Chain A
Amino acid sequence: KQEVTQIPAALSVPEGENLVLNCSFTDSAIYNLQWFRQDPGKGLTSLLLIQSSQREQTSGRLNASLDKSSGRSTLYIAASQPGDSATYLCAVGGGGADGLTFGKGTHLIIQP
């Protein structure tokens, strides 16, 4: 059974810092990996989708990498802002229609 782990569980940094969130998964036979953002009391907003054949994806100040063989992904946030404060979720897809397997998230606080 696929298991997804996110480290750290919580992170607090001053505004302006670059930071890295980590995600690991136990079964490397994935088809894709998706990073989400969740604000308190809200739904999930998709940030980046990486296909299994890709090594990284970029969107603005966000860069996600994927190393399938080692079962790891990182989300890099450049020049962090208070508006980046949220919970970030990593999820892997097995290729079928049977949904995503989620990590428990990293709760990020950017201090003004």
Chain B
Amino acid sequence: NAGVTQTPKFQVLKTGQSMTLQCAQDMNHNSMYWYRQDPGMGLRLIYYSASEGTTDKGEVPNGYNVSRLNKREFSLRLESAAPSQTSVYFCASTLTQGNNEQFFGPGTRLTVL
């Protein structure tokens, strides 16, 4: 099992450019999440998908969109990147909502110039 995989690992964008961060899990998990990690701020939830076909906003959703493509894949899109979106992005998954362990991907380090 690869667990949770993310692509790309690193990305540099110019202000106003768009991109999609990809995430996939092979653990047959129902719920998937996108977090961002910033120095001094800890990890914060951007969007989540409780199950295939559903998505909901987290704590910091502005400037992002998501797509739960199927049970395995959950993508995060930046339509018009801003320097404030420079961060490390983590995807995570868990079997289902409630008392289940979350598993994290290796992260995407994004710099917006």
Q: List residues of A whose CB falls within 8 A of some B CB.
A: 4, 31-32, 34, 36, 41-46, 49, 51-52, 89, 91, 93, 95-100, 102-105
Question: Complex Cα distance A98/B98, Å?
Answer: 9
- A93 CA / B50 CA spacing, docked (Å): 14
Q: Which residues of B contact A49 (CB under 8 A)?
A: 101
The verdict on A34 contacting B102 (CB below 8 Å), with A98-B48, A102-B42, A105-B42 known, is yes
Residues of chain B whose beta carbon lies under 8 Å from any beta carbon of chain A: 31, 33, 35, 40-45, 48-51, 56, 58, 90, 92, 96-107, 109
Among B97, B99, B103, the residue within 8 A (CB) of A52 is: B99
Say yes or no: B45 contacts A98, CB within 8 Å. Answer: yes
Q: Which residues of A contact B42 (CB under 8 A)?
A: 4, 89, 102-105
Taking A31-B98, A42-B107, A46-B102 as contacts, is the C-beta distance between A104 and B41 under 8 angstroms?
A: yes
B35 touches A99 (CB 8 A): yes
Taking CB atoms, residues of chain B closer than 8 Å to A4 are: 42
